[in-house]
């Protein structure tokens, strides 16, 4: 049974890394002591070692130890033998390219399908969807495919920002970009605002956090999904 948190961000303004999620992470990882961290997305180009160290400090607060997948000689075996997974944020193109290069997409999907708990933040949440095509990131490398884990039957747009009518120019809005996406693609997109996350248990998804989420479907008017709303993945009811 899938046991997943899909979070828009790792850090809220003024807070520490993962601080706002710690209570929920205690519940997600309650049956494990060790977490396999995948640092491939490398925010700001941080090294795998330094990124893993940062994550380890956060998880120490809830009594969990962390080891980076880059520390293993055989990454596929690390996935096969792990008890929990965390994929951190950064650049989604870099993340997906590394996962594909190391042939880790299918092993991760298999692990999660057997109940291995998974946390994804930002880029790590992007890859939970059908594809990475609704990321906000620059294509600084080129993966062989945009297809991702498909753990949920829609796409994610993390860090979703609403249009600010007082601002004279901010370029294309997130809503505009998602409408452009729907000219060529049919999957639903959920805009996750900062501090919001999806809690997935089996075929049930609940939106958690202080904000509603913005739901986009092709040829439909976008609407809001209220926090603490439960939906069944099997029926894709929003």
Among candidate residues 122, 125, 131, 196, the one labeled active-site is 122
**Alpha-carbon gap, residue 173 to 25, rounded angstroms:** 32
Q: For the chain, give the percent of residues with pLDDT over 70.
A: 95
**Alpha-carbon gap, residue 182 to 174, rounded angstroms:** 13
pLDDT at site 168: 66
Residue 234 has pLDDT above 60, yes or no: no
- Containing structural domain, residue 222: 3-235
Q: Examine the residue annotation and report whether 159 is marked as an active-site residue of this protein.
A: yes
CATH code of the domain containing 205: 3.40.50.880
Q: Examine the residue annotation and report whether 147 is marked as an active-site residue of this protein.
A: no
Among candidate residues 10, 137, 182, 196, the one labeled active-site is 137
Give the total number of structural domains in the chain: 1
Residue 237 has pLDDT above 90, yes or no: no
Structure token digits, residue 183: 């000219």
Residue 160 — φ and ψ, nearest 5°? -60, 135
DSSP 214: E
User: Rounded to two decimals, what is the model's pTM?
Assistant: 0.94
Among candidate residues 24, 83, 147, 159, the one labeled active-site is 159
Asked which of 63-77, 156-170, 184-198, 203-217 is least confident by mean pLDDT, the reply is: 156-170
pLDDT in tens, 89-138: 999 999 999 999 999 999 999 999 999 999 999 999 999 999 999 999 99
Give me Rg for the CA atoms of the chain: 17
pLDDT at site 170: 61
Contacts of 164 (CB under 8 A, 6+ apart): 170
Closest CA to 92 of 154, 139, 36: 139
pLDDT in tens, 160-186: 998 777 776 666 789 999 999 999 999
* Full 3-state SS string of 89-139: CCCHHHHHHHHHHCCCHHHHHHHHHCCCCEEEECHHHHCCCCECCCCCCCC
Q: Examine the residue annotation and report whether 137 is marked as an active-site residue of this protein.
A: yes
């Amino acid at each position: 049974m899938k046991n997943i948190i899909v979070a828009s961000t790792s850090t809220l303004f003024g807070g520490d890394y993962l601080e706002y999620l710690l209570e929920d992470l205690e519940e997600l990882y309650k049956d494990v002591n060790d977490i396999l961290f995948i640092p491939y997305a490398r925010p700001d180009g941080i090294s795998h070692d330094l990124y893993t160290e940062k994550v380890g400090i956060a998880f120490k607060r809830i009594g969990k130890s962390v080891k980076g997948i880059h520390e293993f000689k055989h990454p596929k075996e690390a996935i096969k033998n792990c008890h929990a997974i965390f994929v951190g944020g950064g650049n989604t193109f870099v993340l997906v390219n590394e996962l594909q290069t190391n042939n880790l997409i299918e092993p991760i999907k298999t692990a999660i399908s057997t109940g291995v708990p998974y946390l994804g933040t930002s880029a790590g949440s992007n890859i939970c969807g059908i594809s990475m095509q609704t990321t906000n990131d620059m294509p600084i490398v080129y993966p062989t495919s945009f297809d991702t884990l498909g753990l949920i039957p829609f796409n994610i747009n993390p860090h979703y920002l609403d249009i600010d009518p007082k601002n004279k120019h901010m370029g294309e809005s997130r809503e505009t970009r998602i409408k452009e996406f729907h000219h060529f693609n049919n999957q639903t997109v959920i805009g996750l605002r900062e501090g919001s996350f999806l809690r997935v248990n089996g075929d049930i998804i609940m939106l958690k956090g202080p904000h509603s989420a913005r739901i986009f479907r092709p040829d439909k008017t976008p609407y809001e999904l209220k926090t603490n709303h439960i939906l069944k993945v099997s029926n894709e009811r929003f």
